[in-house]
Every structure is written in C-alpha cells, then in structure tokens.
Amino acid sequence: MRLFEEFIKEFKALEAKNDEQFESILKLVNDVQNALTKPYMYASSELDKAIKKLKIRAEEPMKVAITGQFSSGKSTFLNALLAKNILPTGITPVTSKVNYIRYGDEFSVMVRYKDGREAFFQVENIADFTDQRSVSADDIDYITLYAPLGLLKDIVFVDTPGLNSQSFSDTATTEAVLKEVDGIIWLSLIDNAGKMSEAEVLEKFMHSYQNKSLCVLNQKDKFSPEQVKQTSEYVERAFKKYFSKVIPISAKQAAQARSNKKETVLEESFEGVLKKLKSNAAKNGYIVKKEIFDEALEEFNTQSKALGKDVSHNDALLKESNIEAVLEFIYEEIQPIAINAKEFAITQDIKLLIETLIEQEDTIISIHTKLEDILNEYEKEARRVFEELKSRFAKALNESLLKIEEIVDKIAVEILSKKISSQRVRYAKAKAGLFGGKELFSAHQYEAPKINADEVYKKLFFDDDLIGKMFKQYLKSLEVIQDEVNLQNAQVFKKLEAKVLEWQKPNELIRKAKPLHSDIQFANVRKFASKSYENILKPFSDEISNSFAKISSEFKHVGSLLKFNYQNATEVVVAFLERRIENSIKLYEENPTQFSIYEPKLDEIKERLKTSFHMYELENLMRFNRSFVGKNYDRLSEEFARINKERIALITENRAEYVNLKEKLTALLDLVPSEQSDEEP
C-alpha cells in the first residue's frame, strides 16, 4: 500500500498533464464570456450569472459527494480523510444540510440562508448549523466549511444528508447533489451492507452513477479479515451495477493515525498558538507585545519537543485503515473522469447557452420577417384590388358619361322638336319693261325654319324642369361613385391596418421566453411594435388621404362643368342655330340661286351641344382607363409600391442588427468543440 504522500505526488504529476486541458476549458469560458457580454449583445443579468457560474465551475476543483444512509458514519469518514475532527459525529443522524468542504486560507464556516444572506462563523460553531441535535435550520440553504488543508486544493467534498431520510426535502436535496458532482462515495457499515433496505435505496437513487461511484464499507476494524473479505466480495457481486469498486476501511483507525501524525499535531499546535496571538492582538488594538509573542513561541517549542518520540506506528495504523485506497480511487479513477466530464458538461452548457441566444435572435428575426411578409403580400393584394377597382369605376364613369350623352340627346331632340316653319316673303327685282321706267320688285313667298326658343326653355327648364331634374339626379349618382371610390380606397388601407395591428398586438406585449434572453432586446421589439402606425401605416394612410383629396377635386371639377352649365349651354346652342338660320335666310334672299336656307339636323345639334357641354373634356376625364379615377389607381399602385419598398427597407435595417447578432452567435457556436467525451456523465 502506497503512502498518502505518494498519492499526492502522483496526483500533482497527473494534474500537470491536465493543465493544458484545464486551460483550454477556461479559455473557452473566457472567450464566451467576452463575446456574450459585449455592449451590443445586451446580456441579461441571468446570462451574466450563468456565465460566471460556468467560469466558477471551470476553475473549481472536482467535487466528491459523501452519501449513504443515515448513521453510516459519513462525518467520521470525512474527518478521517481530512485528518481533522471538524464535523460533528454521533449515534443519531447529525448532518441536516448539505455541507461543502472547500479550501480556505483559514478555518471558517459560511452559512448561506434561503433568503440569500451569507454569514461567517468560527469553525467551532459548525455544529450549531449542521447537527440536528442542536439546531433547527429550516431557513438555511447550505453550509460551506473552509479549511487550510492541502487535500482541499484538489477536491471539494460534499457531505450530504442520508438517502433514507424521512424528510422528503433532505432526500431530494441529496439526489440533486449526486447529479452535479464528479464522484460519489457511498458509505455503508459492513454489518449493514447488502441488506434489502440498502438495495432498495441504491436502486432508487444510484442506478445512473456506476462510472463515478465508489462503495466504502466502514468499520472493518470490528470484523476479522475473512469476514471483511466475504462481505466485500458479496457487495461487489450484488451491487456491481451501482459501483466501480468496493473498498473496506476503518475510518476510526484512519482518524486516529492521522490525528497522531507529527505533522498533524504540530499543525494543530501552531493553530492553537496562532489563535491565542490573534485573540490577544484583538484585545490590544491589534498590537502583539513582545513578551506575549515570546510566550507563545515557547509554548509551541515545548509541544514540538514533546513530539520527538517515535510515532512510526501511525503509518502502520494508517495502512491498516485502508483509507488511502479511497484516495487512490479518487485520484486515479474519479479525477480523470471528472476533467473529461467537466469539459463535456461545460461545453454542453455553453452550447445550450449559445443556442438559447440564437433561438432568441431567431424569434426576433421571425417577428420582423412576419411583418415584411405582411407588406409583401399586401402589395400584391393592393395592386390586384386597385386593378379591379380601376376597371369597376372606369365602367361606372363610362356609364355616367353615357347618361350625360343621353341628356344631350334629349335636349337635341327637344330643340329639334320645337323647330317650326314660318312663312316669309322676299322681294326680287322684276325685269324692266320694254320702254324702261320705274324699277319694279316682285314678292315671293317661302318657308324658313324657326326654333321656338321659348317653348324649348319652357319645356326643358321652366314648366317641367326636365333637364334640371335629370342633371340633379345625375350629379347625385356622381356623388355616389365618388363616395364609393373613397370608401373602397379606405377599405384597401383598412385591410393593411388590420393585419399590422394583428401583428402588433402580441409583439408590443412580448416578453422574453427564457431567463437567459435579453430584456433590452425584447424591450426594443416592444418599442418597434408599439410604433407600428408611425413606422408602417402612416405613409399608406397619408397616401390614401392624398388620393381622397385628388379624387374629390376631380369629381368637383366634373360637377362644376355640369352643375350650372346645362341651361346656358342649351341657350348657346339655340342662339347659334337661330343665327345660322338667319344668316342663311339673308344669303338666300340675296341670291336664292346660290344659297339655300339652313335646316338644322339632329346630329349637328348634338355635336353643338357636346361642344357647349364640354363633352370632349368630360370624355378625357371619364372615358374608360383614361379616366381620372383610373389614373388615380395607377398612381396609387406606384405610390404604394414605393412606400412598401421604403417600409421593408426600414424593417430590414432594424432586423439586420439581430441577423448580425445571430451570425456572431453561430460563429461562436462553431468554435465550441463538438466531439463528446468518452466519459460522458
């Protein structure tokens, strides 16, 4: 059996071999920390804590849990490993909380309360917080014992409550600890080993940890070597699926041998002297008088001389205890697995952490993409609807134009119907007589057309107001078209508004789905969504309003051409016809052989009325796809396409930040080693 000091020496050599692997893990964590805590990453406090926790895990020694059923001697065993009687021991269960035993520059106890408080006490007070016989510690979360022992630089021991506790919380706490430690030492008393009660506990709690678990059978000093051997072999066969190895020990012998070792006694003596000096210094303003120091030094020298006797028998007792076989298992079996397991676990945690952040960016990117999809789909839909409305209202305006032509036809027919024939006389020179004399004229009767203007006006405008009624009805129908155009245009915008507001509603209230996600990034999403009207909808709404103004102006122009024009236009045409008739009569009377009397025709009257009614201008405004409504829809389509392009550019610019962050995270993820450890826990 090799001595404990040899194991330490071998471990140091092994530790040197693992330095490169350790530095690699630590560098990876540091690189991840530097990358994820850049200002532009907007890291959450939870993410910062998670990274710091990973860093602590990367830097801290391996953890070895000491567990077993109640009253199996866990505290005594730990005292033996530490060569220091620190933890309270007794017949009744004494460990009521998880105790972490870590390296520290001096002995102290840190108590972590469930409300987050931490308090430090002298090591002599540890029983006040761990011993069920002396304290009710319901408000304590866990306890950490710090001790200046070399072994603890390499190992953190975790002393747990037993797994056969009647307290569900104690058992659950221990079970949680077993999942996170690098190694497990299951402590059992030799005379209890292999019993059904223990088998049930092992099956329930230890079935997943065979590769990192050691079974230690305590109190071998109470049995013969043959009994110890038989029990050990039985446990190895019966419980091999739970443990890598079974080692019988005597914690009592180990504690006795170590506590009597010269180095241990000297260390304890020095600690006692140092404690006295500190106490005296505290009482005297932290000034140590020379005589007090000399007295303490003399006391230490006296105790050192007393240790001059031979204590070599302690080495034999230590070997007999077999405690160093436990240390051998820790250093040669658990430690190599622990480093690989730590690397694997930290790597997996880093991957999960980065993937969680990538998932965050994907969520935010998809929110922006959804809005972009809404706009792209809307542009196609709006263009299609505008084309349909353009065709629909082109037809309506064309039909409206035909109604004006019907009115013109009605007026033309009425004018023509009021044409009468009047008897007229013209005087022509008679042929001179044979003998000359006075010039003679002869009378010739003829018929000439005449427009009975009074009857026309009376019929069309005064008595029945036929044309006035027709125009009023027409102007009302024109207003209906105008209102319908504006209503339909508003409905086109309403469709976009409804879709954007549907998108906005959940996103202006969105919160991060996981603690690691960024509060600031999701706050920015909420802010962006809350400004949907300003950022997205307003330009479309403004364009619809512009369209409303333009359409209303055009319809007003059409109405102004007709509203007060129809009577005047009719009078102009009648006057024109009357002048032309009179002019033709005058020419006819002057030279009947060359000129004829003008006879108004229906087509000519219609043509004159069209000119007087500005029909050609109205045709340019209202005829099919050349109508002002059609042109307005062409302009709307172009403007909506332009606005849509600008809004998508805004979304793309806003989304680019998250796309860039995702690319950085993906690149970082690619740097994380992908191969799995052979010793995956």
Q: Where do the domains of the chain lie, and which CATH numbers do they carry?
A: 60-251 (3.40.50.300), 262-310 (no CATH), 353-508+528-671 (no CATH)
Range with the poorest average pLDDT among 3-17, 389-403, 616-630: 3-17
Bridge partners (DSSP) listed for residue 174? none
What's the rounded Cα separation, in Å, for the pair 672 and 24? 11
Give the C-alpha distances (Å, rounded to integers) separating 397 from 555, 625, 628, 660: 11, 10, 10, 53
What's the confidence (pLDDT) of residue 437?
57
Q: What percent of the chain has pLDDT over 90?
A: 28
β-strand pairing of 62-68 with 183-189: parallel
Q: What percent of the chain has pLDDT over 70?
A: 80
pLDDT tens digits for 48-73?
999 988 888 888 888 888 887 666 67
β-strand pairing of 155-159 with 118-121: unpaired
Q: Return all residues near 332 (Cβ < 8 A) that are at least 6 apart.
A: none
Closest residue by Cα to residue 221 from 377, 103, 80: 80
Q: How confident is the model at residue 271 (pLDDT cuts 50, 70, 90)?
A: low
Q: How confident is the model at residue 259 (pLDDT cuts 50, 70, 90)?
A: low
Q: DSSP secondary structure string, 141-192?
A: EEEEEEE--GGGGTEEEEE---TT-S-HHHHHHHHHHHHH-SEEEEEEETTT
Q: What angle do CA 7, 11, 12 make, to 5 degrees?
A: 120
Of residues 133 and 378, more confidently modeled: 378
- pLDDT (average), residues 630-653: 94
Q: How many CB atoms lie within 10 A of CB 627?
A: 24
pLDDT tens digits for 310-353?
555 677 888 888 888 888 888 787 777 777 777 887 888 899 99
For tokens 């006075």, name the residue.
438
Closest residue by Cα to residue 69 from 227, 199, 177: 199
What's the rounded Cα separation, in Å, for the pair 338 and 349? 16
What's the confidence (pLDDT) of residue 3?
44
Closest residue by Cα to residue 191 from 154, 231, 244, 156: 231
Q: Return all residues near 108 (Cβ < 8 A) that are at least 6 apart.
A: 120, 121, 122, 123, 145, 146
What's the confidence (pLDDT) of residue 17?
53
Encode 299-328: b = buried (16+ Cβ within 10 Å), e = exposed: eeeebeeeeeeebeebeebbbbbbbbbbbb
Question: How high is the mean pLDDT of the chain?
Answer: 81
What type of residue sits at position 472? K
What's the confidence (pLDDT) of residue 504?
96
What's the rounded Cα separation, in Å, for the pair 213 and 330? 10
Phi-psi region of 658 (alpha: psi -120 to 50; beta: other; left: phi over 0): alpha
Q: Return all residues near 19 (Cβ < 8 A) that are at least 6 apart.
A: none
Q: Is residue 28's pLDDT more than 60?
A: yes
What's the confidence (pLDDT) of residue 681?
40
Q: How confident is the model at residue 653 (pLDDT cuts 50, 70, 90)?
A: very high
pLDDT tens digits for 510-530?
999 999 999 999 999 999 999
What's the rounded Cα separation, in Å, for the pair 119 and 138? 16
What's the rounded Cα separation, in Å, for the pair 314 and 3? 12
What's the rounded Cα separation, in Å, for the pair 663 and 133? 58
Q: In what order do the strands lie in the sheet with 183-189?
A: 118-121, 108-113, 140-147, 99-103, 155-159, 62-68, 183-189, 213-218, 245-248
239, 213 Cβ separation under 8 angstroms: no
* DSSP code, position 95: B
369, 362 Cβ separation under 8 angstroms: no
- pLDDT (average), residues 6-27: 61
What's the confidence (pLDDT) of residue 542?
95
What's the rounded Cα separation, in Å, for the pair 163 and 171? 5
250, 320 Cβ separation under 8 angstroms: yes
**Helices and strands, number each (H, E), in the chain:** 22, 11
The pair phi, psi for residue 110, each rounded to 5°, is: -110, 125
pLDDT tens digits for 160-177?
876 655 555 666 777 777
287, 354 Cβ separation under 8 angstroms: no
Q: Is residue 606's pLDDT more than 60?
A: yes
Cα dihedral sign for 460, 465, 470, 471?
A: positive
What's the rounded Cα separation, in Å, for the pair 151 and 82? 7
What's the rounded Cα separation, in Å, for the pair 200 and 286? 57
Q: How confident is the model at residue 91 (pLDDT cuts 50, 70, 90)?
A: very low
Q: Is residue 679's pLDDT more than 70?
A: no
Query: Of 103-117, 164-178, 207-221, 489-503, which has the strongest mean pLDDT?
Result: 489-503
Q: Return all residues near 24 (Cβ < 8 A) that are at least 6 apart.
A: 343
Q: Is residue 294's pLDDT more than 70?
A: no
